[in-house]
Amino acid sequence: MDARQAPIVCVLSNPRSGSTAFRRALAAGGSMKDFGEIFHDDRSLTQLPFLDFLERWRSPLLAVLDWSECTDISRAYVRQLRFASYGQQPLVDIKHNAWNVVRPLWQFPHDEPLFMSALKDERSIFVQLKRENLADQVISYVIAMNTHIWHAQVTTADVPENMTGRRLDPHLIRKLCKLFAEAEALTEQFLSGYKRHLTLTYEQIFSDGMLGLETARRVSEAIGSEIKSVPFPLQRNSVLKREVVSNYDEVCEIAMDVKAAHAT
């Protein structure tokens, strides 16, 4: 497939799902242009920040509040992603809790985001990353909130002393587990009638420091072009959750309860 006509690939996930490493693995083959987390407030993390695009829009306030303006800026930004990829296949990362950057005043919270609709209009490919171990994902999220380390390897030395051995609030854990589970379920609902998507799990996408062969095959089939599995600097966090959190087993039980409730 001509890269200029190749669909945009949009990685969807909750925080701490491995999306950064996954994007780097996809881009390592050289055929994809990784724009990063386009809606991130740290503009250094993306090569085409939506916030920069918004500031240059004719009416920035209406562009995130008015239905027509939200639709127009979404479509214009999607076109700009393709233009700025310079012949490579565009690759973007959107967290489930970032869609509200572009949401008009009069829209139901459980309605499909206009930016997702704009991506669908361009026949984009959606790849949702999920994490089987919800307990570890939520603990990793809490650690990142405390260390402010989101896009680099976290070691035990990075964890603050006042957090080591601390009992995590069960109410907070249940709230986070529900938010993560509900966001994934809602995204699956948005994509249920859209054939150009697939779901991958964090625990299975990598093998021996590179994209697993089965993952590369599935992604290649979905996007219509070959994704090569090549080595790249894969740095997994070395923090042992059980050693950091004193009530690790309780967190696991809460996560299992929440997952079981959503499974039914």
Q: Where are the domains of the chain?
A: 9-263
Say if residue 215's pLDDT is above 90.
yes
Model pLDDT for residues 160-194, shown as the tens digit of each residue = 777 778 899 999 999 999 999 999 999 999 999 99
- 129-153 pLDDT, tens digit per residue, is 999 999 999 999 998 888 877 776 7
Average pLDDT over residues 43-64: 94
CB neighbours of residue 127 within 10 Å: 25
CB atoms within 10 A of CB 10: 24
Reply yes or no on whether the pLDDT at 235 is more than 70. no
pLDDT at 264: 64
Question: Residue 61 is which amino acid?
Answer: L
- Greater confidence, 132 or 158? 132
Question: In angstroms, how far is CA 257 from the centroid of its own chain?
Answer: 24
Q: Tell me, what's the pLDDT at 146?
A: 84
- Report phi then psi at 197, rounded to 5: -155, 160
Looking at residue 55, what is its pLDDT?
96
Task: Give residue-wise pLDDT tens across range 73-127.
Answer: 999 999 999 999 988 999 999 999 999 899 999 999 899 999 999 999 999 999 9
Q: So what's the pLDDT on residue 236? A: 65
Pairing state of beta strands 32-37 and 89-95?
parallel
pLDDT of 231 > 70? The answer is yes
Give every CB contact of residue 231 below 8 A, 6+ residues apart in sequence. Answer: 28, 209, 210
**Residue 234's CB: how many other CB atoms inside 10 A?**
16
Helix (H) or strand (E) holding 81: helix 67-84
* Residue in 111, 96, 115, 97 with CA at minimum distance from that of residue 8: 115
Global pTM value: 0.91
Check residue 87 and give its pLDDT: 86
Torsion of CA 134, 140, 141, 146, to 10 degrees: 150
Q: Are strands 9-13 and 125-130 parallel, antiparallel or unpaired?
A: parallel
Percent of the chain with pLDDT over 70: 94
Architecture of domain 9-263: 3-Layer(aba) Sandwich (3.40)
